[in-house]
Structure 1
Amino acid sequence: MPIGRWFSTIVAAFLATLAAGALSEHAFAQTPGVQAGGNAYAVDGVEVDASGADAVKAREQGIRDARRKALQMLVDRMVAPEDRARLPQVDDARLESMTRGVEFVNERSAPGRYIATLNVVFAPDQVKAWMSGAGAKTVETVQRPALVVPLWKGQDGVQPLDDRNSWRDAWQQLGSGGAVPVTVMRGDQTDQGVMTPEEAYVGDLSALSRLNARYRVPIIIVATVEGDKAKGTLTVGGLRYDTQTGQRSEIPKVSVPDAGQLSDAAKKMHAKVEEDWRGIATVRRDAQDSLDVVVPIRALADWVQVRQRLSAVPAVKNVSVKQLESDRAELRLDYFGSPEELQRTLAQAGLQLDKDADRWRLQPR
């Protein structure tokens, strides 16, 4: 056998092995309706402050308020913005029947007042019937948890990982809800053993990988504050590391008047991360189609990048390898939505989908 052909055969065999791994990972990643929290119809961290004639009445009102607030949060998460006005009002009786359960995370009662944080779980069938009955197109946003490494850099350099300050407090107050629920790095001896503050500050990929071996999250956000803790303007910025694709991107720096504004700065940074993820993770399940694509392969890294990024796109339901050669792979993508929506979603995931003559071509951007 000629050497060139022998080499191509070896490469193709190796690619086939990678493809098998990609398919198994993808099938796991795209289990419909499953979120990190385990239930697409659960809304966590609903805060209420209700009043009533006495403590019992106030508590009853608080639970009703929590159900209604949670339903609105679910609508914002699952219904396309242009369709939300179609949904009919729900009275208290129907809302109660749509609720599967309420979990009391934290509650305080006083004469005539009830303050609490609740988790509300809705009944999927009843919610779907209410939404579809109004002709609303539903979407699903798969959660993608993130680990936050809060850093403060002052005149003496980057502070220790276990430093307790208002920037760390701001991130801890965000809670675990939303499309990108966050966990704040512990900063304990174990963390300090795998990463130094300086490595975190520069975004050392080896250190971030070691850290992820402990926390095992899809995203690591290194959120930094630079300036004097006691006074003056602060600069907030950082970087975002995708542990699944290996991509690292900068978070643009912004100025904050003083430490009292750090809570708002953390919320805005988190909101931007969520916005970026929703662009990839929002799935319309009312339309489904298939598309045959060709992936040019110039090096093994091309195929690895494509399969890693495809596995992170919830709109792609399934990937089938039709043919695999040393210079290309022919795939069939089963996906939700339209071809145009798929193009936009893949672009946000770092993949370019173009039509070349009568064939679709997929490659890293």
Structure 2
Amino acid sequence: MRFRRFTKSTSRFFSAPVLMLALLWAAAPPETAMAAEVFTVRNVPVDATAAAAASARDAALEKGYVDAYALLMQRLVPNQDLPKVPQLTSSQIANYTVDFSVARERTSTVRYLADITYRFRPDEVRRLLRTNGIGFAETKSKPVVVLPLQETGDTAVLWEDGNDWRDVWSRRDVSDGLVPLIVPLGDLSDILSISAEEVAAGDLQKLSGLAQRYGAGSVLISRAALRGDVEGGTAELELNTTRFDTDGTSQPFLAETYRQETGETLEAFMLRASDALEALIQESWKASNVIQFGVQSVIEVDVPLTGLGDWVKIQQRLRNVPAVVSSQVKAISKQQVDMSITYAGDEKQLSLALRQNDLTLSLNEVLVWELRLIGADNPVTGGSTMPSSPTALQNDASQLQGERLVPGSSAPINPDTGVQPEGVPSTGGTSGAISPQPVE
């Protein structure tokens, strides 16, 4: 890497106060608003009855702590590790919270009802999970637009009447997981932006336009085909779900058939199927973003700049990447910053997390790692907001055992020797070097 020392020749580009501010900001980033949001559980419903209103309120708040803690663990921890989560009392859970706020409070002489928002302490919760050997994810995905398409005979309906699959998704509660799900309103703008035929055909341009309008990173098309006798309780719902990313790529996510249970109404049947699909979306994201804090690695990158504004934006976005432990500036000029980034987890997770914050990491023409803003001047939007399929999670996990991957490359590095296989271009010198550092 082309390291530059801090000399008068470089300091002339920025005034001393501005340069010092930029360096201090990078050296000691505060807790971010995004991290605080991930560790906030909103609108927990509480309802308690007691001999007096004050006692009912105390009982409701205690149960609210327990419910909020359970919801937070479900958000962060993969299902397979949930049994390992320690069971805490309400008073113990209170020690892990910053505060709480109350909305829609209703009381009587013996009853208390409210919706309570609990704000947890990120560092304390992380420490609790690590101490108990529990893997967790806290990288929040860009929103995903869900387009429920229902097949009726040889045609498919989206915005039109008769789409029971979309009606069910529209009535669902707002997702509280790490993957925000958006079901379009179906208003005139939506209807004019894309038709059922264009969705069924996978029109990438129209789908990308819809995703961008909703501020999403991808679109999930879920095609539902209802077969059998609903009244007789023997119906089947065949789902074929495909993910389309804003970079123009698409991959199948899920193909599954759900069977109606005895006495189950059509609405309850479809709601159960939608619950299962959302749970799979959330679980897939968590499983692919579990941060491995046992080993930290360092990657050295160049950050091309068009002005100080770029540097400020990059620092702000880096703070929103949970895997980034710290960053250190090596050299700075008007055109470029040379820096090292210390991160937890593996390189694929780092690259994916960076993209959720509109940052991209790639090799330039001289095989040096570059960190850039994704935006109008650099419209790189590749990288999914979800794994391609639930099966891909198992494949990724098995491939990562015993090897590390260089960002932007499918070539593994032997963790013991640090050597790439033959035929893989070397980055040369120290640029792009990734060195594991065991954490004590």
TM bucket (normalised to shorter chain) is 0.5 to 0.7
- Structure 2 counterpart of 1:354, from 412, 434, 437: 412
Cα separation, 2, equivalents of 1:215 and 1:56:
44
The partner residue of 2:352 within 305, 312, 317 is 312
Q: Which SS does the other structure have where 2:140 is aligned?
A: coil
Which string of whole-angstrom CA distances, capped at 9 and with x for unpartnered residues, describes residues 105-153 of structure 1? 5566567455554332113344455556x45456332122221112222
Q: What is the deviation of 1:266? A: 0.4
Q: Where does residue 289 of structure 2 map in the other structure?
A: 281
Matched, 1:324 2:365: yes
Q: CA RMSD in A?
A: 4.5
Gaps of 5+ in 2: 1-28, 302-346, 372-396, 426-440
The aligned residue for residue 150 of structure 2 is 152
**What's the counterpart of residue 297 of structure 1?**
none
State the SS of the aligned residue for 1:158: strand
The answer to whether structure 1 residue 181 and structure 2 residue 156 are counterparts is no
Among 151, 159, 162, the alignment partner of 1:161 is 159
The secondary structure found in structure 2 opposite 1:141 is coil
User: Which of 254-263 and 89-98 deviates more?
Assistant: 89-98
Alpha-carbon shift at residue 100 of structure 1 (Å): 2.2
CA distance in 2: counterparts of 1:289 and 1:45, whole angstroms: 38
In the alignment, residue 202 of structure 1 is paired with which amino acid?
A
Other-structure match for 2:196: 197
How far apart, in 2, do the equivalents of 1:319 and 1:96 lie? 39
Q: Is the aligned partner of 1:143 residue 2:204? A: no
1:56, CA displacement in angstroms?
4.5
In 2, Cα distance between equivalents of 1:322 and 1:201: 36
- Residue in structure 2 matched with residue 218 of structure 1 by the alignment: 217
State the 1:354 CA deviation. 2.0
1:241-294 CA deviation, whole Å, 9 max, x = no partner?
23357333242041342623111100111112222212322223453113699x
Indicate if the aligned counterparts of 2:159 and 2:191 stay in contact, CA closer than 8 A. Answer: yes
The answer to whether the Cα contact below 8 Å between 2:53 and 2:111 also exists between their aligned partners in 1 is yes
Shift in CA distance, 76/280, structure 1 to aligned 2, threshold 3 Å: same
> Take 1:308 and 1:194, find their aligned partners in 2: how far apart are those partners?
34
Q: Which amino acid aligns with 1:58?
A: A
Aligned residue pairs total: 308
The residue number in structure 2 matching 1:70 is 68
Residues 313, 44 of structure 1: CA spacing in aligned structure 2 closer, same or farther, 3 A cutoff?
same
Distance 1:316 1:185 in 2: 21
User: Structure 1: which 5+ residue stretches go unaligned?
Assistant: 1-30, 294-306, 334-339
Question: Are the equivalent residues in 2 in contact too, given 1:84–1:136 (CA < 8 A)?
Answer: no
- What TM-score do the two structures reach when normalised by structure 2? 0.56
The change in CA–CA distance for 1:212 and 1:243 in structure 2 (over 3 A counts) is same
Shift of the 84–238 alpha-carbon distance from structure 1 to 2, 3 Å rule, reads: closer
1:265–1:104 CA distance, 2 compared to 1 (3 A): farther
Contact 1:282–1:315 (8 Å) recurs in 2: no
Go from structure 1 to structure 2 and tell me whether the alpha carbon gap of 1:187 and 1:271 turns closer, same or farther (over 3 Å shift): same
Contact 1:58 / 1:112 at 8 angstroms: preserved in 2? yes
Aligned with residue 98 of structure 1, among 91, 96, 99: 96
Between Structure 1 and Structure 2, the one with more helix by share is: 1
Instruction: Note the 1:69-88 alignment, pairs <5 A.
Output: 69-78=67-76, 85=84, 87=86
Match of 1:237 in 2: 240
Match of 2:291, SS state, is strand
Aligned to 2:38: 40
Distance across 1 between alignment mates of 2:85 and 2:254: 37
Q: Share of identical aligned residues, percent?
A: 22
Q: Which has the higher strand share?
A: 1
Deviation (angstroms), 1:84? 6.9
Q: Write the letter of the residue equivalent to 2:168.
A: A
SS in 2 for 1:142: coil
The letter for the 2-side match of 1:264 is R
The 2-side partners of 1:170 and 1:35 are apart by 32
Measure the CA separation in 2 of the matches of 1:68 and 1:276.
25
TM-score by length of 1: 0.66
